[in-house]
Amino acid sequence: MCMKSRVAVYCRLSEEDKHKQSKTDDSNSIQNQKSMLLQYVMEQGWELYRVYSDDNYAGADRSRPEFNRLLQDAQQRRFDIILCKTQSRFTRELELIEKYVHGLFPVWGIRFISIVDHADTDDKGNKKSRQINGLINEWYLEDMSENIRSVLTSRRLNGFHIGAFALYGYRKDPRQKGHLLIDEEAAGVVREIFTLFSQGYGKTAIARILNDRGIPNPTEYKRLQGLRYRQPRTKYGTLWKYSAVSSMLINEMYIGNMVQGKYGSTSYKTKQNKPRPKEEWYVVEGTHEPIIDRELWERVQTLIAQKAKPFAAGTVGLFAGKARCANCGYAMRSSKSRGRYYLKCANRHALKDSCVGSFISADKLKELVTEELNRLMDGYLDKEELMRKAELCDYLQEQKNGLITDLAVYQKRAKEFAKGIHRLYMDRINGVVSDADYMELSKVFAADRVRLEKQITDTQMYLNKIEEKIAAGESCSERIEQYTRAEHLTREMVEMLVDHVEVGRRIPGTRDVPVVIYWDF
């Protein structure tokens, strides 16, 4: 007796689908997707394995929980068929279509079917059509991202608040989207912080005062208010710290100015953000009621400017972001006493008994790291071998430059192919090209595109190998003396060679401070 094929049904509803006005678009709902697909399963006489459903997720979101569970179960071959309403319900990324639908699913013995656009991996003849659909979905993602970016930029320029959460001290206005109202409970804390600083209290002292009184920091306050704030909690996650007070004291939002765009996404395909230059921020004055009056604000800014005296170059900044307290894990902060520079735990004075604190002279830490570096270099590195690697490095660099040039040419051609396919598709829609001509020409385009993509993949793979070799042997002649017998430690050397340094508390009865260096080579 022939066993029935086991089917995994996948449904996805994105946020933009929920807000569609037309009744005909109701077919995009999760319920109707399920009904359509389950009916199809029954008609084919297949056995339902499971329904995987992601609600409120975009087609380019790779973190969809049910989507990832579907892929895991597929890899373990728990079913034979994946069934979707359309290929775009599965994903809108051409990269994932190629990786899974055309790559891994056949290897895993899994058939992919989407009903509406007739995608079926058992039908070898419609692979080109699936690829074209994937390319169109990719264009849709890019166009949608640009449209959303344009709308958000316009709203930011007009002073509307964009974001899931209001700044500490404010709350969202339930009657006017994009407008902020003062949250009096948190605003009272903000006013106290500004007042204390204007009276001469330091930032760490202010943090200690708030912690002693049990006032939750902004992150914890959001959670206590029932907001779904997802920032991970840490051992001292509820405490006020120097950094929180410091950033608050220079935030123009507290004088009624809307400041946004401090971070921006790197690509429409990822949620990763990176800092943007200050001149690119969106600043609109007088958009909401201020918490801090101008007089107090100016007084605080003047005090901050007076206290912002740079430390000696190459001393304190040498281990910025690298030195950590061995007890609590927080980054150590610089200080100056009697003309000497020190590093101390930033959490040491924020709350009594929260951390015993680490403390070390900046010169002492520099001396210890330099000594250990020289000891390692003497023991493990051979100068002649380094010279040979330096020569190899120069040769590999020439190869790398040639590959980069080739890759740029291939990528330019790929973009031209993509534009050509797009123009061909639009000609078909407008009736300029017949369906038969379209299919014939699209096959030619697709074949050339596959060949070109292989060239790009092979070139990138070889380029990656070259870069790995360069990285492994990148001890060129001008750096050899610097690294083998370092007399003066520099920030460049610390960045390249040191992952981080853990500093403990001074051993009682001695002048020794435990230091553990975590190297990055």
CA atoms of 448 and 450, how far apart (whole Å): 6
- What are the pLDDT digits (tens) for 239-258? 888 888 988 999 999 999 99
Furthest CA-CA distance within the chain: 90
Q: What is the mean pLDDT of the chain?
A: 77
- φ, ψ dihedrals at 118, nearest 5°: 55, 40
- pLDDT of 381 > 70? The answer is no
Average pLDDT for 190-195: 94
Q: Report DSSP state, residue 237.
A: T
- Token output for 149: 């970016």
Percent of residues, the chain, with pLDDT higher than 70: 73
Which whole-number Å values give the CA distances from 32 to 21, 69, 117, 387, in the listed order? 16, 22, 17, 68
* Better pLDDT: 394 or 293: 293
| pLDDT band, residue 271 (cuts 50/70/90) | low
CA atoms of 182 and 280, how far apart (whole Å): 27
Question: Which DSSP string corresponds to 303-364?
Answer: HHHHH-PPPPTTTSGGGTTTEEETTT-PBEEEEEETTEEEEEETTTTTSTTS----EEEHHH
203-215 per-residue burial string, b: 16 or more CB within 10 A, e: under 16: bbbbbbbbbeeeb
Which of 60-64, 287-291, 433-437, 498-502 reaches the highest mean pLDDT?
287-291
5-31 per-residue burial string, b: 16 or more CB within 10 A, e: under 16: eebbbbbbbbeebeeeeeeeeeebbbe
- What are the pLDDT digits (tens) for 164-187? 888 999 999 999 988 999 999 999
- What are the pLDDT digits (tens) for 293-328? 999 999 999 888 876 544 444 444 677 778 888 877
CA 105 to chain centre: 29
What is the pTM for the complete model shown? 0.45
CA atoms of 490 and 476, how far apart (whole Å): 17
CA 438 to chain centre: 40
- Token output for 405: 């040039």
Q: Which CATH number fits domain 6-128: 3.40.50.620, 3.40.50.1390, 3.40.50.1460, 3.30.365.10?
A: 3.40.50.1390
- Token output for 24: 């005909």
CA 180 to chain centre: 27
Q: Report DSSP state, residue 167.
A: P
| pLDDT band, residue 135 (cuts 50/70/90) | low
What does the pLDDT read at residue 163? 81
CA atoms of 515 and 325, how far apart (whole Å): 10
CA 123 to chain centre: 39
- Token output for 48: 């339902």
- What are the pLDDT digits (tens) for 351-360? 555 566 788 8
- What are the pLDDT digits (tens) for 97-108? 888 888 899 889
What does the pLDDT read at residue 170? 94
What does the pLDDT read at residue 323? 83
- Token output for 328: 């609590």
What does the pLDDT read at residue 134? 58
Give strand ranges (E) for 164-279: 170-172, 180-182, 258-260, 263-265, 273-275
Residue 248 CB-density burial (10 A; 0-12 exposed, 13-18 middle, 19+ buried): buried
Q: Report DSSP state, residue 263.
A: E
CA atoms of 229 and 219, how far apart (whole Å): 8
- φ, ψ dihedrals at 326, nearest 5°: -70, -20
Check if the beta carbon of residue 180 is closer than 8 Å to that of residue 171: yes
Residue bearing tokens 């700044």: 167
CA atoms of 301 and 363, how far apart (whole Å): 32
- φ, ψ dihedrals at 114, nearest 5°: -125, 130
- φ, ψ dihedrals at 305, nearest 5°: -65, -35
| pLDDT band, residue 27 (cuts 50/70/90) | very low
Question: Which DSSP string corresponds to 90-154?
Answer: H-S-HHHIIIIIIIIHHHHT-EEEETTTTEETT-GGGHHHHHHHHHHHHHHHHHHHHHHHHHHHH
Contacts of range 99-102, beta carbons closer than 8 Å, 24 or more positions apart: 100/71, 100/74, 101/130, 102/127, 102/130, 102/131
Check if the beta carbon of residue 57 is closer than 8 Å to that of residue 46: no
Kindly list the domain boundaries of the chain, sorted by start residue: 6-128, 158-307, 317-380+489-519, 383-482
- pLDDT of 427 > 60? The answer is yes
Kindly report the CATH number that applies to the domain delimited by 158-307: 3.90.1750.20
Beta strand pairing call for 273-275 and 263-265: antiparallel
Which of 122-126, 173-177, 375-379, 410-414 reaches the highest mean pLDDT?
173-177
